[in-house]
Amino acid sequence: MVNVAINGYGTIGKRIADAVTAQDDMSVAGVTKTKPDFEARLAIEKGYELYAVIPEKQGDFKKAGINIAGTIHDLLKHADIVVDCAPGGIGAENKPMYEKAGVKAIFEGGEKHDVAGLSFNAMCNYDKAIGRDFIRVVSCNTTGICRVLYPLDQAFGVEKARVVLVRRATDPADIKKGPINAIVPDPVK
């Protein structure tokens, strides 16, 4: 059984936790949050052990009545691999912590290629990822492009592609970035 830690239980982290739970050879070792908001409550409701990213802020969770199992450092002690789902750029800052803990890591597309030295898409370069300590999953946009272009390239050869991306509205907590089908209870200042 592979114990998977998820550092950052946000938009992507939530989905990865559920995807890991659906596998029969992996389990979620725990998930992390910096603050005790609705996502922290959701993690507990779903049965995931919750850990604090910032050790000094453990008290905030207690005050909000949310039980935590410790800090990210405690979580890494019983994880085989961590999926870093922190906001873009934070993964690079987290990498030395994973190296020190001797835990393999998967970074998300908000990180630069250099954070892992291999940008990964399961359809295109699965074999290259085997045995590596660090990989970075390409962004959602690049994933979409890879899934369409790779099979076309394999079958016919693609010399050049002109691509139009049609994206969904922004994430629930990011209303400032664009249109979203959400009610905002408080005027945005």
Ligand X SMILES: NC(=O)c1ccc[n+]([C@@H]2O[C@H](COP(=O)([O-])OP(=O)(O)OC[C@H]3O[C@@H](n4cnc5c(N)ncnc54)[C@H](OP(=O)(O)O)[C@@H]3O)[C@@H](O)[C@H]2O)c1
Number of residues that bind ligand X (CB under 6 A): 26
Return the residue of 20, 85, 103, 115 that touches ligand X, per CB under 6 A. 85
- Strand 134-137 with 119-120, pairing: parallel
The reply on whether position 4 binds ligand X by CB under 6 A is no
Residue with tokens 């979620």: 28
The reply on whether position 16 binds ligand X by CB under 6 A is no
- Nearest-angstrom CA–CA distance, 35 and 56: 11
Provide, rounded to whole angstroms, the least separation between the CB of residue 135 and ligand X: 13
- Nearest-angstrom CA–CA distance, 4 and 170: 27
CB 75 within 8 A of CB 84: no
Q: Is 140 a catalytic residue?
A: yes
Return the residue of 55, 59, 87, 178 that touches ligand X, per CB under 6 A. 87
The contact pattern for ligand X, residues 43-62, with x = CB under 6 A and - = no contact, is ----------x---------
The reply on whether position 92 binds ligand X by CB under 6 A is no
The reply on whether position 90 binds ligand X by CB under 6 A is yes
Return the residue of 139, 142, 149, 150 that touches ligand X, per CB under 6 A. 139
Report the residue number, 128 or 168, with the smaller CB distance to ligand X: 168
Terminal CA-CA length for the chain? 47
The reply on whether position 32 binds ligand X by CB under 6 A is yes
Return the residue of 7, 29, 43, 92 that touches ligand X, per CB under 6 A. 7
- Nearest-angstrom CA–CA distance, 32 and 24: 22
Q: Where are the alpha helices (DSSP H) in the chain?
A: 11-21, 38-45, 58-63, 72-77, 90-101, 122-129, 140-156
Q: Could you tell me which stretch among 21-29, 59-67, 79-87, 145-153 binds ligand X (CB under 6 A)?
A: 79-87
- Nearest-angstrom CA–CA distance, 107 and 169: 23
Following CA atoms 144, 110, 101, 29 in sequence, which dihedral angle do they give, to the nearest 10 degrees?
-50
The residues carrying an active-site annotation are: 140
The contact set with ligand X (CB under 6 A) reads 7-13, 32-35, 39, 53, 85-88, 90, 94, 108-111, 139-140, 171
